[in-house]
Chain A
Amino acid sequence: MDGIAALYIFMLAAFTGYEVISRVPVILHTPLMSGSNFVHGVVLVGAMVVLGHADPEDPVQLAIGFVAVFLGAANAAGGYVVTERMLAMFKGGKKEGAQ
């Protein structure tokens, strides 16, 4: 990838992250943390690509690649489940009384 273009992406993404998060109220900070944890679970995609390119004859490469995909998948799935569980409770907290 073009180095300067990547720098632009880094910079814009950093500002975006900062701006998006600064509007989140304190009561949602825990779900926010696990939600952002879920988002970096996209590392799974990168792990799949490197395992996919690993030499099938080389057990060391396969092992490292397996670990990468395993950890990435756990990050994504775990992050999603706990965030969803917490947010479901917040919704219930207010809506149930109203219904």
Chain B
Amino acid sequence: MTAKWFIDASYFGVAIVFILALKAMSSPVTARRGIVWGGIAMVAATLVTFATPGLANFGLMIVAIVTGGALAWWSGKVVRMTDMPQMVAIYNGMGGGAAAAIAALEFARGEVHGLVVTTLAVLGALIGAVAFSGSCIAFAKLQGIMQKAWRLPAQNAVNVILALATLGLGAAIVIASAVDPNLVIAFFVLALALGVILTSPIGGADMPVVISLLNAFTGLAVGFEGYVLGNPALIVAGIVVGASGTLLTQLMAKAMNRPISNVLFTPIGGAAAGGDGQAIEGTMKEFSALDAASVMRYASKVIIVPGYGMAVAGAQHKVWEMAQLLEEGGVEVVFAIHPVAGRMPGHMNVLLAEAGVPYDKIFDLEEINADFPQADVALVIGANDVVNPVARTDKSSPIYGMPILNVDMAQNVIVVKRGKGAGYSGIENALFYKDNCRMLYGSAQQAIAEAITHVKALEA
């Protein structure tokens, strides 16, 4: 009994530390301390669990912890910051998979009894399995393993039928007096398929929302399985994440002005691009790195709008070097970041932080949008949809209504872009054809490097 009491008390402490760790993330100053406490609490929870009365199979358990932990630790250490979203997705999927496996084992042992417990076990298994397979698809897409967003002919109908079939099987498991292994296996197969089917049609532009949503799912699954196991630490941690993930998902969806149901059921695809509402007029005008450098050097205010294109080119360090050079010449330089720039919410902030840009130079959409008319130059680097004025004007465009950075209102706009093609979402960008816009073709890395040379030359 004393061991049981000690273990329960420890879990209680661990749950408190987890909440405080998340709370510490409200400021960059305390955030890191918070996660370190959280790490210590996690180790404590793991060690204490070994003392749970009546446990066996310790050898297997230790092997699983060491291999799983070491593999993830190593991959997390070596992953590049630009690839972070898919790593977060895959770790999240593993949590969902673990929750589903817990339910599966409880069913296999015949340990699930009672209406409420069985219902929550089934729900946790369903959500966990969807989060697992969905996250694997998200990973495959972001990693470039799965290039195309494929859609079934009657995608939404298939979604609904599959979801209903899975729920039906789940209900059958709840109602059945004894566990039927075939029923349980069929249920898990359908739940996994559901995760695949739901996420496959979703294009890269919507990925941040999906990753966030799947994270919330895993939290819920963990919370439900915590109830099945009678473990309050799992309930508290899981539900806290479920609620926070839901909030984060809402914030993201709002930033794109796309209801979550739209993200899931009417994904932005290449086919939907270039709505036939308004034809885009004008031509793209090319600019040289020298011209770009001189315009920026003699400006009084430059707003840099970095996008994922800059990040994949690894150009954030060069961009910050150029910004510092311009500042030395008396130019005011700030960074403007759209909430969904990058592949995760706030991803671009992380990438700029990696390059050493102080965060008092970084502004989000609401803070900076009114400043664009006063800026001499808006420098767009590898960003596309988040600066597309079509979102304001063209009702037939899939991104209509999405809040954008008002780059087009700056005196001059310079767009660094690799080629003339449409962007990630496949939507033609009206900005590029505007009179005040110039195109600087080339990879961000090389274009900015050239601009730096010219800025230096102008200095001398």
A-side residues, CB < 8 A to B, are 1, 3, 6, 9-10, 13-18, 20-56, 58, 60-62, 64-94, 96-97
Report B24-41 CB contacts with A as 1/0, cut-off 8 Å. Answer: 011111011011101100
What's the least CB distance linking A52 to chain B, in Å?
3
B298 within 8 A of A: no
Do B241 and A75 touch (CB < 8 A)?
Answer: no
Contact partner, A74, options B68, B232, B244, B353, Cβ 8 Å? B68
Contact partner, B71, options A15, A41, A74, Cβ 8 Å? A74
Q: In chain A, what residue has the closest Cβ to B115?
A: A3
Residues of B close to A9: CB separation below 8 A: 232, 235-236, 239
B99 within 8 A of A: yes
Do A71 and B95 touch (CB < 8 A)?
Answer: yes
Q: In chain B, what residue has the closest Cβ to A80?
A: B39
B67 within 8 A of A: yes
Do B235 and A13 touch (CB < 8 A)?
Answer: yes
B226 within 8 A of A: yes
B240 within 8 A of A: yes
Compute how far the CA of A12 lies from the CA of B412 in the bound complex, rounded to whole angstroms.
Answer: 52
**B94-151 CB contacts (< 8 Å) to partner A:** 94-95, 97-99, 101-102, 104-106, 108-109, 111, 116
Q: In chain B, what residue has the closest Cβ to A29?
A: B346
B306 within 8 A of A: no
When A20-B244, A71-B101 are in contact, do A33 and B229 touch as well, CB less than 8 Å?
Answer: no
Do B60 and A66 touch (CB < 8 A)?
Answer: yes
Do B38 and A36 touch (CB < 8 A)?
Answer: no
Residues of B close to A26: CB separation below 8 A: 339, 345-346, 349, 364
Binds A, one of B50-58, B190-198, B271-279: B50-58
Residues of A close to B98: CB separation below 8 A: 43-44, 46-47, 67-69, 71-72, 75
Do A29 and B248 touch (CB < 8 A)?
Answer: yes
B61 within 8 A of A: yes
When A6-B227, A71-B68, A93-B356 are in contact, do A42 and B233 touch as well, CB less than 8 Å?
Answer: yes
Contact partner, A52, options B52, B90, B94, B350, Cβ 8 Å? B52
What's the least CB distance linking B238 to chain A, in Å?
6
Compute how far the CA of A68 lies from the CA of B102 in the bound complex, rounded to whole angstroms.
Answer: 6
Residues of B close to A14: CB separation below 8 A: 239-240, 242-243
Compute how far the CA of A53 lies from the CA of B63 in the bound complex, rounded to whole angstroms.
Answer: 16
Q: Which 4 A-B pairs have the closest CB atoms?
A: A52-B55, A17-B243, A81-B76, A29-B346
What's the least CB distance linking B344 to chain A, in Å?
5
What's the least CB distance linking A72 to chain B, in Å?
4
Q: In chain A, what residue has the closest Cβ to B60?
A: A66
15 A-B pairs, CB-CB below 8 angstroms? A1-B230, A14-B239, A14-B240, A20-B23, A29-B344, A35-B21, A39-B18, A47-B101, A51-B57, A52-B54, A65-B101, A73-B66, A73-B67, A85-B76, A93-B28
Count of A-B contacts judged by CB separation below 8 Å? 386
Residues of B close to A6: CB separation below 8 A: 227, 235
Do B69 and A74 touch (CB < 8 A)?
Answer: yes
Contact partner, A35, options B35, B75, B356, Cβ 8 Å? B35
Do B102 and A15 touch (CB < 8 A)?
Answer: no
B247 within 8 A of A: yes
What's the least CB distance linking B218 to chain A, in Å?
5
What's the least CB distance linking A49 to chain B, in Å?
6
Residues of B close to A71: CB separation below 8 A: 68, 94-95, 97-98, 101
B379 within 8 A of A: no
What's the least CB distance linking A59 to chain B, in Å?
11
Residues of B close to A40: CB separation below 8 A: 92, 95, 215, 218-219, 222, 237-238, 241
Do A78 and B236 touch (CB < 8 A)?
Answer: no
Report B333-345 CB contacts with A as 1/0, cut-off 8 Å. Answer: 0000001001011
B5 within 8 A of A: no
What's the least CB distance linking B249 to chain A, in Å?
10
Interface centre among B27, B91, B242 (most CB of A within 10 A): B91
Contact partner, A21, options B22, B68, B353, Cβ 8 Å? B22
When A16-B240, A85-B76 are in contact, do A42 and B109 touch as well, CB less than 8 Å?
Answer: no
Compute how far the CA of A74 lies from the CA of B74 in the bound complex, rounded to whole angstroms.
Answer: 10
Residues of A close to B42: CB separation below 8 A: 38, 41-42, 44, 76, 80
Do A21 and B244 touch (CB < 8 A)?
Answer: yes
Residues of A close to B283: CB separation below 8 A: none
What's the least CB distance linking A36 to chain B, in Å?
4
Do A69 and B64 touch (CB < 8 A)?
Answer: yes
What's the least CB distance linking B8 to chain A, in Å?
11
Residues of B close to A44: CB separation below 8 A: 42, 45-46, 65, 98
Q: In chain B, what residue has the closest Cβ to A38?
A: B38
Compute how far the CA of A33 lies from the CA of B343 in the bound complex, rounded to whole angstroms.
Answer: 12
Compute how far the CA of A30 lies from the CA of B244 in the bound complex, rounded to whole angstroms.
Answer: 13
Do B235 and A39 touch (CB < 8 A)?
Answer: no
Contact partner, A84, options B39, B58, B339, Cβ 8 Å? B39
Q: In chain B, what residue has the closest Cβ to A86?
A: B350
Contact partner, A78, options B87, B111, B360, Cβ 8 Å? B87
What's the least CB distance linking B36 to chain A, in Å?
7
